[in-house]
Amino acid sequence: MSSENLDEKYKPKRIKDLVGQPNIQMKIEEWVNSPNPNLAIPHMLFAGPPGVGKTSAAMVLAQELFGKNWRDNFSRFNASNERGIEFIRVKIKQLTIMAPAAASFHIIFLDEADELTNQAQDALKEIMQENTETAKFIFACNNPEKIISPIQDRCFRVNFKPISDDLIVQRLMFICKNEGITYDEGALEILAQRALGSLRQAIILTTASVNRKNHIALENVGDETGTLEEWGAEKIVASALQGNVKEAERQFFNIYYENSIKYGKIFELILNKVDKMELDISIKEAIINETGLYDYRMCDPNVNVAVQVKCYVNSIARIGAKKQDSRDIEVL
């Protein structure tokens, strides 16, 4: 059983399936039931942390509006992968001039839109203005302040909140019942707390905790386990200090892309882990300085993330080579 499959299997397919966002549910219902959705539905900016339903809400809106044709009228892109001006001028521009399938408009969903370069955003604002009636844009982001003002001004902002632990537990109970998963008393509550308001993360953690007997034992979700991101952050540091930069780089991008955790949060997790690791104080200070430097560098929307991550893990590797023999640094 893979976490990805369970996460996909239990994605909301109807408005009532959205978890923990009642005001957003009401707004989507209002748009869907409008006599003229084309006039009622604006461009939108979905803002909030990962795993709280931004992508699901966009897909549910499309399914409710377009029915069986929803896939033909819903285009989804991850802007952290395609973030430059050519992506906007070629792919997005082409989509806006295509005729919708049995509908008056189609939806273009840009996930992680805060990763778009300023040049790309400038080009996009013109396309939005020219195609308001035939294409509705939905921007999903964790850091809305990185979206340029002209785009924000053209969008209706929808704020997604972290999901309460109680609601996460209810959803996990529903999933476990459907999947025949048993669990010790209190196990789901711990998993919900670990997820920090992210339902997606809670499902991933739940799946990772299921043993061969299809059971979640309390000892498998104890305080010492931490979240998947925390494990990954510690592995980044330990691997880089040992000189295994390829593994450190792989761990960084595993968190960044697969778990949708922003680099700023990854650096925060790394700093928290470094503070708790048994390392010489000079090594800790050096890692903290390098982490702060690269966190600052990656605030530039035009930066090449892949290059900066490679440079970062190599800088940590150099710290390990200079400060301490690699056999003294334990890898988990």
The per-residue pLDDT for range 176-194, each reduced to its tens digit, is 999 999 999 999 998 988 7
Least confident of 36-40, 106-110, 149-153, 253-257: 253-257
Check residue 298 and give left, alpha or beta (phi > 0: left; psi -120 to 50: alpha): alpha
φ, ψ at 139 (rounded to 5°)? -100, 125
Averaged over 62-84, what is the pLDDT? 87
State the CB neighbour count (10 A cutoff) for residue 208: 18
8 Å CB contact between 108 and 138: yes
Averaged over 256-285, what is the pLDDT? 80
Cα distances from 248 to residues 226, 270, 285, 297, 310, in angstroms, run 19, 12, 19, 19, 9
> Binning pLDDT at 50, 70 and 90, where does residue 55 land?
very high
- Would you list the DSSP string of 163-229? PPHHHHHHHHHHHHHHHT-EE-TTHHHHHHHHTTT-HHHHHHHHHHHB-TTSEE-GGGGSTTT--HH
State the CB neighbour count (10 A cutoff) for residue 328: 13
Averaged over 282-289, what is the pLDDT? 90
Helix axes 228-241, 305-323, angle to 10 degrees: 60
> Binning pLDDT at 50, 70 and 90, where does residue 325 land?
very low
Q: Distance between the two ends of the chain, CA-based, in angstroms?
A: 24
- Per the listing, tokens 């203005």 go with 129
Averaged over 210-238, what is the pLDDT? 76
pLDDT of residue 46: 95
Q: pLDDT at residue 322 above 50?
A: yes
Q: pLDDT at residue 175 above 90?
A: yes
**Percentage with pLDDT > 90 across the chain:** 39
Question: SS in 3 state form for 104-159?
Answer: CCEEEEEECHHHCCHHHHHHHHHHHHHCCCCEEEEEEECCHHHCCHHHHHCEEEEE
Instruction: For 113-137, write each residue's pLDDT tens digit.
Output: 988 888 889 989 988 888 777 899 9
